[in-house]
């Protein structure tokens, strides 16, 4: 049985300034299960970072609430919320390390705040530096570390208080692709070893594909789509999801009045050159608007968007042809609408 650890219920957030009012979040409802690696993705300004800050009430919602296990944060005192935050650790894009402290002392810092003794904190910090592969760097200062090493220190510091939840706000955005991959592997290992629920805020689909089991897509403050990563990538329904999955920008021309379909290939799909054979079978061309292969959870998934010929009879025959070969063509209204 899946057990919910975070429930976001009707969360809206409005920022009011002297000049204008901004609705950053609009009635968000999400459930994140214990032990999950959950991705929240959106373009810049979509509201995803505001959403992650509501998860520990660093940003209090204008409406709605967040429930961590059985604790409704909207009903807790500030002291009680601070206690919950010790169970909800956070890492950031900018690392947020203390530049005048050594690596060891940076990891100790979060334990000092909750009153652990210096000896106990140092023992725990050294243990965590081994976990993140930096045991040889305990006397170094942040200025002597690479970006990936700084993020490993930040992860060790976040783990120091034995959190149940780890929030990662664009934690790999400042890193190169190779370092990003190593950090994501580390997060997967931590999730598997300690059972910590990880919530990853990102604008990069590669991050979601690499590590997450479930994903929510935020678009202009609205929850556009949510579900298992494989389902959302294979069968995106919303325009926001399709834009992110297909990496299509707003300048992509629409194909007015044309019928488009999307087909998805997986490792179980036939190795027959289906499209080429279909074109030969009906002596009618199709326009391949998009073709892409992505790795999702270690399994290759391919997809194509096809613009079919104008002849409606040929369209139906082609769709039947694809179905007979184990594919499931779906009508695609965007970006062909």
Secondary structure string (H, E, C) spanning 137-171: HCCCCHHHCCHHHHHHHHHHHHHCCCCCEEEEECC
Residues 253 and 231 in one domain: no
Full domain range(s) for residue 326: 248-331
Lowest mean per-residue pLDDT among 38-47, 243-252, 263-272, 286-295: 243-252
Look at residue 243 in the predicted model and tell me its pLDDT.
76
CATH of the domain at 198: 3.40.50.300
Residues 118 and 174 in one domain: yes
pLDDT digits (tens, 9 = 90+) for 61-84: 999 999 999 899 999 999 898 888
247 pLDDT band, cuts 50/70/90, is: low
Look at residue 245 in the predicted model and tell me its pLDDT.
73
Residues 64 and 201 in one domain: yes
132 assigned to some structural domain: yes
Q: Give the residue, 238 or 191, on which the prediction is more confident.
A: 191
Residues 178 and 37 in one domain: yes
Q: What tokens were used for 114? A: 């909750």
Q: What tokens were used for 208? A: 């979601």
Look at residue 66 in the predicted model and tell me its pLDDT.
94
Q: Locate tokens 């690596």: which residue? A: 103
Residues 174 and 273 in one domain: no
pLDDT digits (tens, 9 = 90+) for 288-318: 777 776 666 655 567 778 888 888 888 888 8
What mean pLDDT is predicted for residues 155-181? 88
What mean pLDDT is predicted for residues 10-33? 90
Look at residue 293 in the predicted model and tell me its pLDDT.
66
The pTM of the whole model exceeds 0.85: no
336 assigned to some structural domain: no
Lowest mean per-residue pLDDT among 98-107, 132-141, 254-263: 254-263
In percent, the amount of the chain with pLDDT more than 90 equals: 31
Look at residue 297 in the predicted model and tell me its pLDDT.
60
Look at residue 337 in the predicted model and tell me its pLDDT.
45
CA–CA dist 21, 4 (Å, integer): 33
CA distances from 335 to 166, 208, 233, 250, 285 (A): 36, 22, 16, 9, 20
């Amino acid at each position: 049985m899946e057990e919910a650890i975070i429930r976001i219920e009707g969360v809206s957030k409005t920022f009011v300034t002297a000049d204008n009012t901004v609705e950053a979040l609009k009635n968000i409802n999400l459930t994140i299960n214990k032990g999950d690696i959950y991705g929240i993705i959106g373009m810049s300004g979509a509201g995803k970072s505001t959403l992650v800050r509501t998860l520990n009430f660093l940003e209090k919602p204008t409406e709605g609430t967040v429930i961590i296990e059985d604790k409704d944060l909207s009903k807790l005192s500030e002291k009680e919320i601070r206690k919950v935050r010790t169970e909800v650790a956070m890492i950031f894009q900018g690392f947020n390390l203390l530049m005048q402290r050594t690596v060891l002392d940076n990891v100790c810092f979060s334990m000092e705040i909750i009153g652990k003794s210096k000896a106990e904190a140092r023992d725990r910090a050294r243990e965590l530096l081994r976990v993140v592969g930096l045991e040889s760097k305990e006397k170094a200062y942040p200025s002597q570390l690479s970006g990936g090493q700084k993020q490993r220190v930040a992860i060790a510091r976040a783990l120091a208080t034995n959190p149940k939840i780890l929030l990662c706000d664009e934690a790999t955005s400042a890193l190169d692709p190779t370092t990003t991959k190593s950090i994501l592997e580390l997060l997967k290992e931590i999730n598997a070893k300690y059972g910590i629920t990880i919530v990853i805020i990102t604008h990069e689909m590669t991050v979601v594909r690499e590590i997450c089991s479930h994903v929510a897509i935020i678009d202009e403050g609205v929850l556009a789509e949510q579900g298992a990563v494989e389902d959302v990538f294979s069968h995106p329904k919303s325009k926001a999801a399709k834009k992110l999955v297909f990496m299509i920008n707003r300048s992509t021309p629409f194909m007015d009045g044309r019928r488009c379909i999307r087909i998805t290939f997986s490792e179980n799909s036939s190795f027959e050159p289906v499209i080429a054979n279909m074109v030969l079978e009906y002596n009618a061309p199709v326009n391949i608007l998009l073709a892409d292969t992505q790795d999702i959870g270690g399994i290759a998934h391919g997809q194509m968007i096809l613009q079919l010929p104008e002849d409606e009879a040929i369209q139906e025959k082609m769709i039947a042809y694809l179905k007979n070969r184990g594919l499931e063509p779906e009508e695609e209204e965007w970006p062909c609408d």
